[in-house]
A = this chain, B = another copy of it.
């Protein structure tokens, strides 16, 4: 293929100054809209700039005004449809408010999140939206806030940090789903979450580093205890994020003598793995196994059986976080938390438990 043409050089303020026969400082004042320049001179400089197709350098403007009109967003896993829709909410809202968005993915790893925050601060973003990867390890976020960087949390929070946040009521959602399964007759309900931990088996809540997971798990255990379920914590499994790990967990859970008759999945990627495991093991949903999942992912309502879901408002969460951030950049001082409801949408994946061998 042919080589490209040699690149044209970008037109600078110096080029405009030379062509308009003024000093560079005068040209910069006229084009940057600061300092004093006579109207006649300003008009001559602006016309010259237009003739040369000069484009203002937004970086230079940032250095003069302290605003970049760019915000940073750090999310856990952009591939997860929950975050895909949340990011769409952020970018749509940012565009309406005149901001660009630099997106970074933490992969749910605090070290990566720390690197991303440093990168974004070095780029002089006007503010940050973060879904923190750990509620315990937030020194870098505390530091960013202390330096005066406008900060909003989305979906999750960091313990002890007073930061604007757009959240959902995870505890209420988990209680609602658990009660639905109990009402259908289930007494052995498993709860699967993607949260990282040294092992899949759940010991106690001190293992949990995400406020969302803590809220959901507490809600699940509370509702299970209130319904008199026996040792519900024995059916809780962590580390179900990677498909292979989820399959190992499900094979262990679903082939035991004491197998659960229903599963509550903490995201739609895990719910897909429940379907995959059920296929492999020859279990029909909901006849042999009931399922409720967090997130109204598109596939949950299109296929058979349609899945009963906790419909997190992920698009609205992103949009609200961006609006909160814009207000904080504009100078709002009061810290606000907006907690969204998570409706339960009943479809076809919950049935009474099968009669199991003792």
List residues of A whose CB falls within 8 A of some B CB.
1-10, 55-60, 62-63, 68, 70, 78-79, 81, 84-85, 87-88, 91-92, 100-105, 119-124, 145-149, 162, 269, 272-273, 275-276, 279, 297-299, 301-304, 306, 333-337
Contacts and interface: CB of A to CB of B under 8 A. Distances in A.
Contact of A59 (B2, B84, B123): B123
A297 B297 CA distance: 12
Rank and list the top 8 A-B pairs by shortest CB-CB distance, nearest first.
A7-B148, A299-B299, A272-B302, A58-B122, A1-B335, A103-B103, A276-B302, A275-B302
A279 B7 CA distance: 56
A86 to B, nearest CB: 10
Contact of A78 (B56, B87, B147, B306): B87
A1 B336 contact: yes
Copies in the complex: 2
A62 B58 CA distance: 11
A334 B3 contact: yes
8 contacts: A5-B146, A7-B148, A8-B146, A55-B121, A58-B122, A58-B123, A63-B63, A102-B103
Contacts of A7: 146-149
A7 B144 CA distance: 10
Given A59-B68, A276-B301, 19 more contacts: A1-B336, A3-B333, A4-B333, A7-B147, A7-B148, A9-B148, A57-B63, A58-B124, A59-B63, A70-B102, A70-B123, A79-B88, A81-B81, A101-B102, A101-B103, A279-B304, A279-B306, A299-B299, A299-B303
Interface centre among A123, A275, A276 (most CB of B within 10 A): A123
A9 B334 CA distance: 19
Contacts of A4: 145, 162, 333, 335
A104 B73 CA distance: 13
Contacts of A279: 302-304, 306
Contacts of A335: 1-4
Contacts of A148: 6-10
Contacts of A79: 81, 84-85, 88
A301 B276 CA distance: 8
Contact of A60 (B1, B8, B63, B333): B63
A288 B246 CA distance: 33
B91 A105 contact: yes
A148 B148 CA distance: 37
A124 B57 contact: yes
A19 B304 CA distance: 69
A223 B171 CA distance: 54
A104 B91 contact: yes
A147 B5 CA distance: 10
Contacts of A60: 63
A309 B337 CA distance: 43
A2 to B, nearest CB: 6
A3 B123 CA distance: 27
A133 to B, nearest CB: 15
